[in-house]
Structure 1
Amino acid sequence: MSPRAVSGITNRSLRGPDDGLLGVPDGITQAGYDLARLRRNGLIVRRLHASTYDLTADGLRFALCYTTAHDRVPTPLFAAD
């Protein structure tokens, strides 16, 4: 498990890892929007009196399923090239 999942997710930590994926860095508002959507879908919960979020059981299950699917489908397809 990544250190972010153990220590919690913040707006700042969410902006850092994917800054170069689409060629345009995400702003504060996009990171806040992403956190709100994850929270609304029940994948994260906010800690009391903090701006930090933790994964729920459903969020962890989704992350594991998504990671497994990513490792089994696109990785072998790209390796075949």
Structure 2
Amino acid sequence: MEATVKRATIYLDEVVHKALKMKALETSRSVSDLVNSAVKNALAEDAEDLAAFENRVNEPLLSYDEMVKRLRKDGRI
């Protein structure tokens, strides 16, 4: 089953638009397909970030000073 497609107008920087057109030609994909894919990837990253925050909600909070002390103790800085 194919998803419903909606039309939208976006304004791109001239250089970004040129790069998108070149990539579309090189990859045999449309500019719309490339933009759609990029937006989906960005939304998926946001969803992953939100899930990570939810998974860590019960972790104790550390102050900046405490974090620096731990990093020094572990030899990371």
| TM-score tier after normalising by the smaller chain length | 0.3 to 0.5
More helix by proportion, 1 or 2?
2
Q: Which has the higher contact order (CA 8 A, sep 6+)?
A: 1
TM-score w.r.t. length of structure 1: 0.36
More strand by proportion, 1 or 2?
1
TM-score w.r.t. length of structure 2: 0.37
